[in-house]
Amino acid sequence: MIRPAACLFDLDGLLLDTEPLHGRAWRQAAGRFGVDLDDAQLLQLRGRRRLDNAWQVIAWIEAAGLTAPTAEQLLAVQQPIARRLLPSAPAMEGAPELLARCRELAIPMALVTSSSREAVALKCAPHAWLELLEIRVHGDDPALVSGKPAPDGFQLAARRLGVEPAGCWAFEDSQAGTEAALAAGCQVHVLLPAGVGCESYPPQVRCLGSLQEVRL
């Protein structure tokens, strides 16, 4: 087996089980403005930057014929809820072991997340094993032009590691993240969200039921 030149990891829903908590925060925030977000809508918010999600929720509020808040007003409701919930997120099954295996094999690693540096610090604080990811591209990285589904984050991570994206394995769970990693030229492994089948993703990805299935 040819090992990857590097492994590039998403965070939310891939290494940490934060997506149900993010979903709860967005659902409660939208509810304050009269809209009950369904599961399909919450799935669309996965993998994207906070402000991009705020604009999407505002569009749904407007589509319901309601008076929409500004992005700042919406985030003023959503962010305190998220900050209260997210530190309790557990590791995804097999995630600590996968990072440890990469370190054992001297495979370079990087984090490629849509979350801000502040949010990542909040979520990662209870998880010392995430310190193995020393190279990080955050959603508010000054060098990042566009967030997922644009390929910029994965391209930037590969550049910082000194490798070509084509030699990298990218690990994602969201549609936006998968699209970004494929556009960057990575070999993409998708950890399927609950209730979502492999047919929902492009045929060239490798679908995983658990990170324990990864063989290095």
CATH code for position 40: 1.10.150
The answer to whether the CB of 77 falls within 8 A of the CB of 61 is no
74's tokens: 């919406």
Q: Tell me how many domains the chain contains.
A: 2
Read off the pTM: 0.89
Q: What is the pLDDT of residue 47?
A: 87
| Same domain assignment for residues 70 and 155 | no
What is d(CA 156, CA 148) in angstroms, rounded to the nearest whole number?
A: 12
Residues 23-41, mean pLDDT to the nearest whole number: 96
* Pair (143, 55) in one structural domain: no
Q: Is residue 1 a part of any domain in this protein? A: no
The 10s digit of each residue's pLDDT in 52-62 is: 999 999 999 99
Average pLDDT over residues 46-57: 93
| Token reading at 101 | 């295996």
Q: What is the mean pLDDT of residues 28-49?
A: 94
Same domain for 63 and 36?
yes
Tokens, residue 139: 């959603």
Among all residues, which ones are annotated catalytic? Answer: 10, 12
Q: pLDDT-derived band of residue 1, with 50, 70 and 90 as boundaries?
A: low
Q: Are residues 61 and 134 in the same domain?
A: no
